[in-house]
Structure 1
């Protein structure tokens, strides 16, 4: 695909930046941060390295943009789950969403937020730190939602919101790892249902 530059520092033209970012996201999702080479990325995106740098920055910048796209797309179920009316429904939506997202036909299995950081040597430390911050932020939002549930009497008063949030995130991340290892949607749905049976007050 021909790429036309508007001067040496101009924004590249001749390609769809949104589509290119979508393709980059899938490469990172499937191969992880370190496993995704610049050749893999630019080939999938259909652009040159020069165009990639001009439009998205370096590999780390591109990864952060891809993670943002992932959070707003395939992983958006996590934010939506927080809006459920009860804490149990929040947990159900989160775990069921994790099962659906990590086993979606036509997409890489597993979770970009988990897979991309499993094998991060020194070149991938910044990407790993970005992923840790992303996961910790969601755990904190889940904790705050469960604290509200305790305050409103939706969860028993002796519930530890921090512990409950970390438990759910651990199960959701485990589902992602199992999906990447070949577990089926039905198998993972059973895992999610089993975890929900131990819900406080159930």
Structure 2
């Protein structure tokens, strides 16, 4: 008879996400995970296959929670500059938190690529979703006359995603929102 899983896998994935986010994939051992999650190694393997499977689940959890919330907030913004500013500054605030742990997705790219194609796919999907949401926001703003008609919304959105990636890496080096937020003002000049 198969044993019933005695732990909440969603809560375990959320806790694993925090551990991977703080320590990184390589610096997090299976033992670290089992101790942090309060489960046995057999339970981890039964639920997720292996450490890599749990890491994938953690990235997906990040995508469906924090990354999805950022996109929802962006869609609710009325004024394009205020919406983009809020998106960028909120991401900086999260990235500098806990001593500058950065962004889980950007950290994953820096640590796991080019070898880990599954991580590349997951993070590319996140970035594509961000780019598409920004493109739609910028397209609507251009139609309302909030940004100049000469701007290509897709190119401008691609720039903002690229800028945000660099900003999130910088947040690990300089985990000080006051030092990084003025850079957001510079990036917003691209909307002029």
User: Which TM bucket (shorter chain)?
Assistant: 0.7 to 0.9
Q: Deviations over 1:35-59 (max 9, x none)?
A: 4333332232121222123334443
SS at match of 2:34: helix
Stretches (4+) displaced over 6 A = none
Q: Deviations over 1:5-47 (max 9, x none)?
A: xx43x5411x343432222001221233444333332232121
C-alpha distance in structure 1 between counterparts of 2:156 and 2:4, whole Å: 46
Matches within 5 A, 1:1-202: 7-8=1-2, 10-13=3-6, 15-75=7-67, 76-104=69-97, 106=98, 109-120=101-112, 124-196=116-188, 198-201=189-192
CA RMSD of aligned residues (A): 2.4
Give the structure with the larger helix fraction. 2
Task: Indicate conservation of the 8 Å contact 1:87/1:149, yes or no.
Answer: yes
C-alpha distance in structure 2 between counterparts of 1:150 and 1:31, whole Å: 42
For structure 1, the residue ranges without an aligned partner over 5 or more in a row are: 1-6
| Range 139-148 or range 26-35, more displaced | 26-35
Task: Indicate conservation of the 8 Å contact 2:95/2:175, yes or no.
Answer: no
Number of aligned pairs? Answer: 191
C-alpha distance in structure 1 between counterparts of 2:55 and 2:100, whole Å: 16
C-alpha distance in structure 1 between counterparts of 2:81 and 2:54, whole Å: 36
Task: Indicate conservation of the 8 Å contact 1:74/1:101, yes or no.
Answer: no
Task: Indicate conservation of the 8 Å contact 1:82/1:145, yes or no.
Answer: yes
TM-aligned CA distance change 1:154 to 1:97, over 3 Å:
same
